[in-house]
């Protein structure tokens, strides 16, 4: 009888590990046999996201704000830096905290990785492309970001985090990499976090009008969370620095998304049009050629299946 393969990493630190994507990463790493230390200050993360991990062998929760220096008892060989408010509702409510997490927090996570020789992966964002003039967006595009607009606290925090990550790698030799995550959705999203998928699902399940901003013709490309996690771990396992886009090139308009969710929920909800936020990107779609060629990664979960799973989760867990 053969033995199970050893995990690729013995101990991973996941900052923001109680958040939406972070908690799924913690689960995936533990399932693969990697010990995990979840670092979170619960400013936007939720204890419910990691409730099934608490008390499991190999899982440690360390409550801390990563923008302040923090230490980990056991040296990691992988540091995944996801800590940051990520939804408009959160980063507009916590603008200074968002900037500090992207700057000081990234520095502290990089220093932890550098001091232990760990592989470091920064979870950056497609928001670094701003309201893009290039479509779809590939990693060579520099973006079109308003540096002082309301969204800038998130966009510029991530842009600075990328610059710091590259500086650490170039000047200090830190084994660092960058992934740019495009719109990710799935179970454990919060119904009131301001993003389209949970907002539409919450509204559809309660029979409320689905509030589509502007004319609804602006596009997004939605990647199911399991695919995003697989992409992050593929990048962690690879030696390249990136940045590399991790997202689903299946682009759809917000109006189409709203109609799909109404159909999948069987809701009687109607669509209501509201004012579009300042600096809201008109288009968003990743070029994932690099991820496919270098990481052998591409999304596997079709939009209808992913939305069904997410709707089922919201039916079971409510809209908190």
Q: 4 in a domain, yes or no?
A: no
The pLDDT value recorded for residue 62 is 97
Whether residue 319 is predicted with pLDDT greater than 90 in this model: the reply is: no
Note down the domain range covering 182: 11-317
Distance of CA 66 to the CA centre of its chain: 17
Whether residue 6 is predicted with pLDDT greater than 60 in this model: the reply is: no
Q: 71 in a domain, yes or no?
A: yes
Percent of the chain exceeding pLDDT 90 equals 90
Q: 1 in a domain, yes or no?
A: no
Q: 5 in a domain, yes or no?
A: no
Among 208, 220, 217, 218, which Cα is nearest to 272's? Answer: 208
| Interatomic CA distance for residues 306 and 112, integer angstroms | 35
Give the pLDDT confidence of 51-97 residue by residue, as tens digits. 999 999 999 999 999 999 998 999 999 999 999 999 888 999 999 99
Both tokens of 16, joined, read: 């923001």
Check which CATH number belongs to the domain holding 107 and give it.
Answer: 3.40.50.720
Handedness of CA 233, 239, 244, 250 (dihedral sign): negative
Do 214 and 280 form a contact (C-beta atoms < 8 A)? yes
Is 62 a residue of the active site? no
How would residue 278 be classed by pLDDT, with cut points 50, 70 and 90?
confident
**Ordered DSSP codes for 63-83:** E--TTS----SS--SEEEE--
Q: 242 in a domain, yes or no?
A: yes
Do 198 and 189 form a contact (C-beta atoms < 8 A)? yes
In this structure, the number of other CB atoms found within 10 A of the CB of residue 60 comes to 18
| Interatomic CA distance for residues 12 and 34, integer angstroms | 7
Domain total of the chain:
1
Single out the catalytic residue among 154, 185, 192, 224: 154
Among 144, 110, 127, 136, which Cα is nearest to 241's? Answer: 110
Give the pLDDT confidence of 201-258 residue by residue, as tens digits. 999 999 999 999 999 999 899 999 999 999 999 999 999 999 999 999 999 999 999 9
Q: 226 in a domain, yes or no?
A: yes
Q: 47 in a domain, yes or no?
A: yes
Whether residue 1 is predicted with pLDDT greater than 80 in this model: the reply is: no
Q: 2 in a domain, yes or no?
A: no
């Amino acid at each position: 009888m053969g033995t199970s393969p050893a995990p690729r990493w013995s101990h991973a630190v996941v900052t923001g590990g109680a958040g939406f994507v972070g908690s799924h990463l913690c689960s995936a790493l533990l399932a693969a046999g990697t010990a995990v230390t979840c670092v979170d200050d619960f400013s936007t993360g939720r204890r419910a996201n990691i409730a099934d991990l608490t008390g499991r062998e190999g899982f440690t929760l360390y409550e801390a704000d990563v923008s302040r220096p923090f230490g980990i008892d056991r040296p990691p060989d992988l540091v995944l830096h996801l800590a940051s408010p990520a939804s408009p509702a959160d980063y507009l409510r916590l603008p200074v905290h968002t900037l500090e997490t992207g700057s000081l927090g990234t520095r502290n996570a990089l220093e932890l990785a550098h001091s232990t020789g760990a592989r470091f992966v920064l979870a950056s964002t497609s928001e670094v492309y701003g309201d893009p003039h290039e479509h779809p967006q590939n990693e060579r595009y520099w973006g079109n970001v308003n540096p002082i607009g309301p969204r800038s606290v998130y966009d510029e925090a991530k842009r600075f985090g990328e610059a710091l990550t590259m500086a650490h790698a170039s000047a200090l030799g830190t084994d660092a990499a960058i992934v740019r995550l495009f719109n990710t959705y799935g179970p454990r999203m919060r119904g009131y976090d301001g993003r389209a998928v949970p907002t539409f699902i919450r509204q559809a399940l309660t029979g409320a009008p689905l509030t589509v901003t502007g004319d609804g013709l602006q596009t997004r490309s939605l990647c199911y969370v399991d695919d995003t996690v697989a992409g992050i771990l593929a990048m962690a396992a690879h030696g390249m620095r990136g940045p590399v886009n991790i997202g689903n090139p299946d682009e759809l308009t917000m109006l189409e998304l709203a109609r799909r969710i109404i159909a999948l929920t069987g809701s009687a909800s109607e669509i209501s049009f509201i004012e579009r936020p300042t600096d809201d990107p008109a288009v968003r779609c990743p070029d994932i050629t690099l991820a496919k060629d270098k990481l052998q990664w591409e999304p596997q979960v079709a939009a209808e299946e992913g939305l069904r799973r997410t709707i089922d989760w919201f039916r079971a867990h409510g809209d908190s």
